[in-house]
A = this chain, B = another copy of it.
């Protein structure tokens, strides 16, 4: 029978049939590791007096989360974009009255690799149960529960059993608050949204060359003179508010004070500890190798000046006091030789046979042990170990106290780092940099003065093109690693650098693309057969994006609403190659749209066509 049907299918290729709408169900984002809701899927009303109860659980952060979720599930009334027709809504069972929360260890702090597992059972009758080892796992389960509630009056899925825990312990967002300032409320909103995506690390790139917004009790002049102004500061109270908010949401707040590079803003208070501060970043006529900074905004701390360490240690101590988080991010990216070389004492050091790496080693040896003495694990950008001009060895940076964050060269640098024995946080600029693809920010750049465009290139963005949600979703952060090496990958972070970002674009740059990483790091990006599940994820992410918007997060749309209402109809399905399409005259507009053949889906589609056709013609297959 196969050959005739194949011919039939090919013969049908110039026709089409409507695809009947795929029946929707209720989705949870990120998808749980194990989710059981057997057919016929059932739902019941959520009682108007529904409560979340945690008997004898005395934990302020858990109480805060329970209060928050109780309000959310009673008031959200999310309307699914597709009516969940597959769900058998029943009034024969009484409304759900209670979710009981059990936590076995109330004291486990919110540190890296804390247990975040939970089980959630919503029976068809009687109270629902959420069990977790820790407060933090319970918060993940509360979020899952909230996404199983919808409608007005509120309904809740029943007959549900979920077991869940993350694949990776570190699931973060890095936000740069130096190049442009973000008010505290924006940071809190971001942390709240992270929690809803089961993310757990807010990596706060607080300072850089452009502004120093952090008010430090021991070094107040840094912010007083180096911030953008009195209305653009983070006070100790602000920090405490953010840290506590993070704890209430299961999100660690990991501070970064970048040094010795990216410190131009320190020069306003301490010009004497700086090299090359307030210079034009790329002297006229000089080679790129002789620039003074990686981008406009010059200034490095001088590793040969003892006062550097007097100031920096007070900074470190204050930061360690303000932030309870056991990781301390010390930066150390992009040391630009030209900046250090601008200083006379460094010129002497180098002309006497010293090297840039030795300068860096002096700097690290004068700061790293101090940070470790404060019971902190030190996170550095990969540059401190991999930079071609200035790097230090594993003896200077012992792996037991050091984590490296990679951003260059994709999986190659990840491999270099873990094969040297370091733990790694992956934030590849090829996949996880959210700012890319919006052009450059430099002034007087004649690159954009053109009257003919070939629609190629990255449009002036060094890390363009734009990283789509699919690009982020599909990236495997342990790609090419042995199992042993993969165990050193703590997780990943998307990064929003703020040259062209500020509160006006915060939500749309971050969401829902970051939701894509959140799921990949929580439960992976593959289905049960091991195939990438990006196609199936599209509908779920659409639904989740709309739910986030209604929760007050300005996540950007990934498709027209029409695609959501007509599941599968916006798919790419064709066996043709790009060459065929490119050869069609007059189709310039779409010549680049669809580059890759999706043979598998085409086969599935053809199979459906066969069945439809057979059914219509009364044929038996």
**When each residue 162-182 of chain A gets 1 if its CB lies under 8 Å from chain B and 0 otherwise, what string results?**
000000000000000001110
CB-based contact A290/B14 at 8 Å: yes
**A561: interface (CB < 8 Å):** yes
Instruction: Return A569 CB to nearest CB of chain B, in Å.
Output: 5
**A560: interface (CB < 8 Å):** yes
CB neighbours of A295 from chain B (8 A): 590, 593
CB-based contact A388/B560 at 8 Å: no
CB-based contact B181/A283 at 8 Å: no
Say whether, besides A180-B557, A462-B592, A464-B459, A284 and B13 are in contact (CB < 8 Å). yes
**A563: interface (CB < 8 Å):** yes
The one of B279, B441, B444, B589 in contact with A429, judged by C-beta atoms closer than 8 angstroms, is B589
**A37: interface (CB < 8 Å):** no
Q: How far is the CA of A603 from the CA of B76 in the complex (A)?
A: 61
**When each residue 428-460 of chain A gets 1 if its CB lies under 8 Å from chain B and 0 otherwise, what string results?**
011100000111111111111111110111111
**A186: interface (CB < 8 Å):** no
Instruction: Return A180 CB to nearest CB of chain B, in Å.
Output: 6
Q: How far is the CA of A35 from the CA of B604 in the complex (A)?
A: 66
CB neighbours of A539 from chain B (8 A): 443
Q: How far is the CA of A563 from the CA of B295 in the complex (A)?
A: 11
Segment at the interface with B among A147-155, A237-245, A417-425, A471-479? A471-479
CB-based contact B449/A410 at 8 Å: no
Instruction: Return A184 CB to nearest CB of chain B, in Å.
Output: 17
CB-based contact B458/A284 at 8 Å: no
Say whether, besides A9-B285, A475-B451, A572-B443, A18 and B561 are in contact (CB < 8 Å). no
Q: How far is the CA of A508 from the CA of B539 in the complex (A)?
A: 25
Say whether, besides A17-B280, A560-B179, A442 and B508 are in contact (CB < 8 Å). no
> Which A residues, 559 to 590, have Cβ-Cβ distances below 8 Å to chain B?
559-563, 565-566, 568-576, 580-581, 584-590
Q: How far is the CA of A387 from the CA of B586 in the complex (A)?
A: 7
**A15: interface (CB < 8 Å):** yes
The one of B408, B449, B468, B591 in contact with A470, judged by C-beta atoms closer than 8 angstroms, is B449
CB-based contact A596/B464 at 8 Å: no
CB-based contact A448/B462 at 8 Å: no
Q: How far is the CA of A59 from the CA of B514 in the complex (A)?
A: 52
CB-based contact B282/A562 at 8 Å: no
Say whether, besides A500-B559, A560-B210, A589 and B462 are in contact (CB < 8 Å). yes
The one of B19, B430, B445 in contact with A455, judged by C-beta atoms closer than 8 angstroms, is B430
Q: How far is the CA of A525 from the CA of B431 in the complex (A)?
A: 36
The one of B556, B571, B590 in contact with A500, judged by C-beta atoms closer than 8 angstroms, is B556
Closest to A9 in B: B285
Q: How far is the CA of A449 from the CA of B572 in the complex (A)?
A: 14
Number of A residues, CB within 8 Å of B:
149
CB-based contact B508/A446 at 8 Å: no
**When each residue 390-433 of chain A gets 1 if its CB lies under 8 Å from chain B and 0 otherwise, what string results?**
00000000000000000111110000000000000000011100
Closest to A539 in B: B443
> Which A residues, 510 to 541, have Cβ-Cβ distances below 8 Å to chain B?
532, 534-535, 538-539
CB neighbours of A473 from chain B (8 A): 448
CB neighbours of A561 from chain B (8 A): 179-181, 210-211, 228
CB-based contact B444/A573 at 8 Å: yes
Q: How far is the CA of A296 from the CA of B457 in the complex (A)?
A: 26
CB-based contact A411/B452 at 8 Å: yes
CB-based contact A458/B465 at 8 Å: yes
Q: How far is the CA of A534 from the CA of B447 in the complex (A)?
A: 11
Q: How far is the CA of A539 from the CA of B13 in the complex (A)?
A: 56
CB-based contact A549/B504 at 8 Å: yes
The one of B294, B449, B573 in contact with A282, judged by C-beta atoms closer than 8 angstroms, is B573
**A374: interface (CB < 8 Å):** no
Q: How far is the CA of A410 from the CA of B450 in the complex (A)?
A: 11
Instruction: Return A309 CB to nearest CB of chain B, in Å.
Output: 26
CB neighbours of A285 from chain B (8 A): 9-10, 13, 574-575, 602, 606
**Max count, chain B CB within 10 A of own CB: residue among A9, A411, A535, A590:** A590
Say whether, besides A14-B290, A476-B451, A442 and B504 are in contact (CB < 8 Å). no
CB neighbours of A588 from chain B (8 A): 408-409
Instruction: Return A498 CB to nearest CB of chain B, in Å.
Output: 7
The one of B284, B456, B560 in contact with A457, judged by C-beta atoms closer than 8 angstroms, is B456
**A125: interface (CB < 8 Å):** no
The one of B280, B570, B592 in contact with A573, judged by C-beta atoms closer than 8 angstroms, is B280
**A218: interface (CB < 8 Å):** no
Instruction: Return A290 CB to nearest CB of chain B, in Å.
Output: 6
CB-based contact B448/A468 at 8 Å: yes
Sorted from nearest, which 8 A-B pairs have the closest CB atoms? A459-B465, A439-B468, A444-B535, A448-B470, A13-B285, A430-B453, A388-B586, A210-B562
- Other A-B contacts than A439-B465, A441-B560, 19 sampled, CB-CB below 8 A, are A13-B285, A17-B279, A18-B278, A181-B561, A296-B569, A437-B459, A438-B466, A439-B468, A443-B563, A443-B570, A445-B594, A446-B532, A447-B594, A447-B596, A448-B474, A449-B474, A456-B465, A460-B468, A464-B465
Sample 17 A-B pairs with CB under 8 A, ordered by A number.
Answer: A14-B283, A210-B562, A296-B566, A409-B588, A441-B559, A443-B539, A445-B470, A446-B534, A446-B597, A447-B595, A453-B471, A457-B465, A461-B465, A462-B591, A462-B593, A500-B559, A501-B557
State the A residues within 8 Å of B (CB): 9-10, 12-19, 179-181, 209-211, 228, 276, 278-290, 292, 294-298, 334, 338, 342, 387-389, 407-411, 429-431, 437-453, 455-471, 473-476, 479-480, 498-502, 504-505, 507-508, 532, 534-535, 538-539, 549, 554-563, 565-566, 568-576, 580-581, 584-598, 601-602, 605-606, 609
